[in-house]
Structure 1
Amino acid sequence: MTAVDPSTTAEDAAPDAGGDILAVAREQVLERGEGLSQEQVLAVLQLPSDRLSEALALAHEVRMRHCGPEVEVEGIVSLKTGGCPEDCHFCSQSGLFESPVRAAWLDVDRLVEAAKQTAKTGATEFCIVAAVRGPDAKLMEQVRAGIAAIRAEVDINVACSLGMLTQEQVDELAAMGVHRYNHNLETARSHFPEVVTTHSWEERWETLQMVRAAGMEVCCGGIVGMGESLEQRAEFAVQLAGLEPDEVPLNFLIPNPGTPFAHLEVPQGADALMTVAAFRLALPRTVLRFAGGRELTLGDLGAEQGMLGGVNAIIVGNYLTNLGRPAEQDLDMLETLKMPIKALNDTL
């Protein structure tokens, strides 16, 4: 796949979708393995609700053919919570908003215990997250100590999400054996200034390019329902495809009290599910992960529909400052759907 120019926006020209979009997608994506273009993704997003089941079924076929039946399970934990200097309008961890979240650190012993509990669920990935613009020397030392302690006691891949990085920090994390680095672009480039003003979409893109070059896997997704148009949602899907990430976590907005987006409505279930299908058709070979907000937006039935509509990975447990549902419920769902959990040796 040829990477797209990161300057691509919703206004840029794209090839005509041509014909019935799901028929086109069946031949282009399912048979040839080529992701949809921006205009084609938009055509899927604009399908009427009575075609949702058809779109999800095709997305599931694509997932099964190009990714297989296994589901990758991940747990996440916050090493440093709250007090972030950035103004991401969806985030209750920003120190600039009057939210109930207060700054706190997790010690290494509790970090290891969280990794152990995550591994017990069958998860292959454990992600250490910090609410920062980028890591300082103290945080890098905490991460180094935490990874060493986890490796000594837990058989699990360790991922990190520590904000924007310098080249030196990228090299340090790679040397520590970090398997995957998460840094979300959050939304389309054209919509990003409405979501964050203290740094740019391009700064995030640059970190991701360095991560890729250093040999770590790239995890990059965003949040659906932050006031973006369908055109911008299609733009975002294609910009992600151009990055060629190993994983795309799909979050759905939780309007956290005290944040600038507290007034926005929770995304509707049918709209969220059509987005899941469209993203799978844009990213046929990528790990597409259910992440934060799915419980609020989709509920139990919707989550099952998403797992049968292109999703092949899931975060179990809580999402940093937002509660998820018990990991056992998700594991039971996977068992009911007869979806095997990917083994650790398949992710190395």
Structure 2
Amino acid sequence: MSILETARQQVLEQGVGLNQEQLIEVFNLPEDQIPELMELAHQVRLKWCGEEIEVEGIISLKTGGCPEDCHFCSQSGLFESPVRSVWLDIAQLVEAAKQTAKSGATEFCIVAAVKGPDERLMKQLEDAVAAIHAEVDIEVAASIGTLTQEQVERLAKAGVHRYNHNLETARSYFPEVVTTHTWEERRDTLRMVAEAGMEVCSGGILGMGETIEQRAEFAVQLAELNPHEVPMNFLDPRPGTPFADRELMDSRDALRAIGAFRLAMPHTMLRFAGGRELTLGEKGAEQGLLGGINALIVGNYLTTLGRPMEEDLDMMGRLQLPIKVLNKVI
């Protein structure tokens, strides 16, 4: 039985994700089978997640000056990067949330370039969440690094409903990407987030030099977290970083990865994130949205440009993809 026939029975019919060995077969599918993979991934998404697409906007509360050495990231203060440290105030965050909500987005994520939050950042985030909820009908997520148990509890109490902390890559490849903290530290934060009742958002970046086997390993390790959401980024080499000279991921490999991640995590929200514009372009993005992706970030990312929000909304309209609407019970 071929791997796609196996996936049809195991994933589509039973809702059980593929294991690591099975995923390696998917990552090695010949090019002429990619359309069949995309179609199967789309069917899996429709059956186990529904047809709606969740739209999210993100904003950086603190940009640059990070003490970590993530080799892909221009926000590290350890590299000769053009990004410099900037802080936003509460009023700017509220205004950004309002603009995000106008796009139809149901999710607004506040991000800070830190290893973990100090008391100043915690207090500012708590105040920001309260101010946004008072003025904007939108869910607030956060991504502010490694957390302590006390900080996790404070964020949950403040009304942060989803927390993003990317594993970034497979456990076996992580030391090639980051040396100033461990993969296990990231996983521990995600465990506490889940135990506190917040939704877990964790993904990473593909195309950083990992092997196909490590991509399959990464997908399985993410699935073990039982995440609500997995952001899928593709490396956009940033000037001044150790990965500045890495080549862009081949678009065919990116499509294989989208299909494989959907078959590994049939019940999870897969979100198009950074690098999709360069790696896939307009046509590839449409293939992804009809091949397992059911969420995307609109507008710009943290230090790289995305597509204009209107273009993504037009694309979803052409594909007749319904946007998720936030329904709050007051």
TM-score band w.r.t. shorter chain:
over 0.9
What is residue 222 of structure 2 aligned with on the other side? 240
Per the normalisation by structure 2, the TM-score is 0.99
What is residue 73 of structure 2 aligned with on the other side? 91
Amino acid at match of 2:111: V
What is residue 327 of structure 1 aligned with on the other side? 309
Per the normalisation by structure 1, the TM-score is 0.94
C-alpha distance in 2, partners of 1:268/1:118? 31
Q: Deviations over 1:110-162 (max 9, x none)?
A: 11110000000000000000000000001011101111111111000000000
- The answer as to 2:64 corresponding to 1:76 is no
- The answer as to 2:170 corresponding to 1:201 is no
Deviation at 1:347, TM superposition (A): 11
Amino acid at match of 1:274: R
- The answer as to 2:132 corresponding to 1:150 is yes
Matched position secondary structure for 2:178:
coil
Amino acid at match of 1:288: L
- The answer as to 2:318 corresponding to 1:336 is yes
How many residue pairs match? The answer is 330
What is residue 67 of structure 1 aligned with on the other side? 49
Q: Percent identity?
A: 70
C-alpha distance in 2, partners of 1:238/1:337? 30
Match of 2:157 among 138, 162, 175: 175
Deviation at 1:268, TM superposition (A): 1.1
What is residue 28 of structure 1 aligned with on the other side? 10
Amino acid at match of 1:152: A
Q: Find runs of 4+ consecutive structure 1 residues off by over 3 angstroms.
A: none
What is residue 266 of structure 2 aligned with on the other side? 284
Amino acid at match of 1:185: L
Does the 8 Å CA contact 1:92/1:258 hold for their aligned counterparts?
yes
C-alpha distance in 2, partners of 1:188/1:327? 31
C-alpha distance in 1, partners of 2:235/2:147? 25
What is residue 215 of structure 1 aligned with on the other side? 197
1:128-139 equivalence runs, <5 A: 128-139=110-121
C-alpha distance in 1, partners of 2:61/2:132? 13
C-alpha distance in 1, partners of 2:248/2:93? 32
Matched position secondary structure for 2:280:
helix
Match of 1:263 among 236, 245, 248: 245
What is residue 13 of structure 1 aligned with on the other side? none
Deviation at 1:308, TM superposition (A): 0.3
C-alpha distance in 2, partners of 1:126/1:271? 30
What is residue 122 of structure 1 aligned with on the other side? 104
C-alpha distance in 2, partners of 1:346/1:42? 41
Does the 8 Å CA contact 1:251/1:294 hold for their aligned counterparts?
yes
- The answer as to 2:213 corresponding to 1:231 is yes
C-alpha distance in 2, partners of 1:228/1:25? 24
Matched position secondary structure for 1:132:
coil
Does the 8 Å CA contact 1:124/1:347 hold for their aligned counterparts?
no
